[in-house]
Amino acid sequence: MEPYGIIPKIGKLLRSKEISCTELTKQYLHSAETENKRLNAYVKLTPEAALKTAAEVDRKLAAGEELSPLAGIPMTLKDNISTNGIETTCCSKILRGYTPIYDATVWDILKRQDAVLIGKANMDEFAMGSSCETSCFGGARNPHNTERVAGGSSGGVASAVAGNLAAFGLGSDTGGSIRQPASFCGIVGLKPTYGAVSRYGLIAYASSFDQIGPITRSVEDAALVYDAIAKYDPMDSTSSEKAQPAFSSLGKDIKGMKIGVPKEYFDGVREDVKAALQNALKVYESLGAEIVDFSMPSIQYSLPVYYILACAEASSNLGRYDGIRYGARTEHYADRDEMICKTRSEGFGAEVKRRILLGTYVLSAGYYDAFYKKAQNLRGTLIRAFEDAFAHCDVIAVPTVPMTAFPLNFTAQDAVETYLTDICTVPVNIAGLPGISVPCGFGGDSMPVGLQLIGARFSEPALLNAAFQYEQAARRDVFRAVETGVVL
Ligand code: GLN
């Protein structure tokens, strides 16, 4: 297979010594510095560490040492992934000044492979949002049109990767935060099966949903990064040993593959987005796949289930920010209680406060059965609905988002309206399934549209291959989406 992903391309250039890792890193750092004014993708650049790693890669190359596929590749991490010695804020005022004393497992893995961290990427505060605009640093912009958002919550990573300020990045996805910004920015985002990638060192939002995954410029890149990070980790009690490498499955024939299309996912989807999806399904048919239309009525429960359970978990997880153990503390207070109260009032933004309050409410004695318990039961219903679906199809194909990237400030108007836009992404997190967003053309507004493929638990090899087959077949269009002023 001729490499087309940007990671193997850079790898080839480094190994053939057409460019040194130091030169390459300087180019990316320069772009990151200058373009960040326009895109606000990074909240912190890490030039010293980046150039140190680059020098080490150059030394190893000169010595003829065997390097990993990710060695020397300029990349970024969402700012909720802990980096030892580098400030990690979750883009919240309450964590300003917080510097972790350990690395998240995913970063430890990438560091050992000599990946080059360009900087920490912008995000919605504590990963709560769909536009990146709840960030205390202001939102990241979309490289396709800076009057549009990059999406959220991993908007900074998507903006950096689509804008060529990093070759790949890691985001986190609790209800769509990898797939939705990837869709908005015309790139690839993979939310792995729950348990496939360690969450150790990922600052928790809703622990039974959170999962780290790659945001890349191609499926090939996503498979390479996934293979590197999908490892069992004893430091995460929900980590699994079942994840299988995906890269070696790319290129397998998909003749006879059954693609399920649940009609409920298309309710309320914008016509131009629907049209792009229909075209993608035609591409699959031309590759010999079979389209199986079916119905999944329980999808209607997914938004309330997600917002009840995610807020409940968030209200518990965010209880640890009390001004004593981490980050910022209010300046003036009379006693401990006032200190905690003022720190939390000043440190958290409006969306985070809303979710802590909602979560506390649904867990409170009088309402636990009516909300939390009911949502847990319905979570089981949704899990079973997906199991039934995968009994008669191999993958499910749906839109990633019912629309294209929002204009700036769109989500400030109404929180519930914004929650509704997560309709196509949250079911995957509820059921712990893998989902990938792949660019599949443009809407009437010339903004990218994403095709979302969903697989059964731990089916990443087949899922990524299904995405790869589409991307290969639709390559020219896809590449129109990603070639937005390439560095190389
Ligand atoms: N937009 C969703 C939310 O606001 C998803 C966020 C996420 O996946 N972190 O909760």
- Atom 5 (ligand 1) nearest CA: 175
Is 360 within a domain? no
Q: What is the pLDDT of residue 64?
A: 96
Distance of CA 173 from the midpoint of ligand 1 (Å): 7
Distance of CA 283 from the midpoint of ligand 1 (Å): 30
Is 445 within a domain? yes
C-alpha distance from residue 20 to each of 8, 11, 30, 52 (Å): 15, 11, 15, 13
Which of 130, 215, 429 to probe ligand 1 with, by most ligand atoms within 8 A of CB?
130
Could you read off the pLDDT of 399-411 as tens digits, one per residue?
999 999 999 998 7
Distance of CA 373 from the midpoint of ligand 1 (Å): 21
Is 160 within a domain? yes
Is 304 within a domain? no
- Cα gap 203→427, rounded to integer Å: 22
Q: What is the pLDDT of residue 482?
A: 46
Both tokens of 485, joined, read 């002023």
176 lines ligand 1 (CB under 6 A): yes
239 lines ligand 1 (CB under 6 A): no
Do strands 212-216 and 258-262 pair parallel, antiparallel, or not at all (unpaired)? Answer: unpaired
429 lines ligand 1 (CB under 6 A): no
Q: What is the pLDDT of residue 356?
A: 98
Helices (H) and strands (E) counted in the chain, each on its own, are: 16, 13
Is 330 within a domain? no
Could you read off the pLDDT of 291-330 as tens digits, one per residue?
999 999 999 999 999 999 999 999 999 999 999 988 899 9
Is 402 within a domain? yes
Is 339 within a domain? no
174 lines ligand 1 (CB under 6 A): yes
151 lines ligand 1 (CB under 6 A): no
* For the CA of 173, the nearest atom of ligand 1: 8
181 lines ligand 1 (CB under 6 A): no
- Residues in the chain with pLDDT < 50? 478-488
Structural domain count of the chain: 1
Is 353 within a domain? no
Residue 57 structural domain: 6-296+380-478
Catalytic residue positions, numbered: 78, 153, 177
Distance of CA 129 from the midpoint of ligand 1 (Å): 5
Q: What is the pLDDT of residue 476?
A: 56
422 lines ligand 1 (CB under 6 A): yes
134 lines ligand 1 (CB under 6 A): no
Distance of CA 436 from the midpoint of ligand 1 (Å): 16
* For the CA of 351, the nearest atom of ligand 1: 4
Q: What is the pLDDT of residue 417?
A: 87
Phi, psi of 298 (to 5 degrees): -70, -10
Task: Collapse the DSSP code of 435 into the 3-class scheme (helix H, G, I; strand E, B; otherwise coil) and give the result.
Answer: strand
Distance of CA 125 from the midpoint of ligand 1 (Å): 10
Residues 6+ apart with CB under 8 A from 438: 188, 219, 450, 451, 453, 467, 470, 471, 478
40 lines ligand 1 (CB under 6 A): no
Q: What is the pLDDT of residue 390?
A: 98
Q: What is the CATH number of the domain that holds 223?
A: 3.90.1300.10
* For the CA of 421, the nearest atom of ligand 1: 1
Element (H, E) at 451: strand 448-454
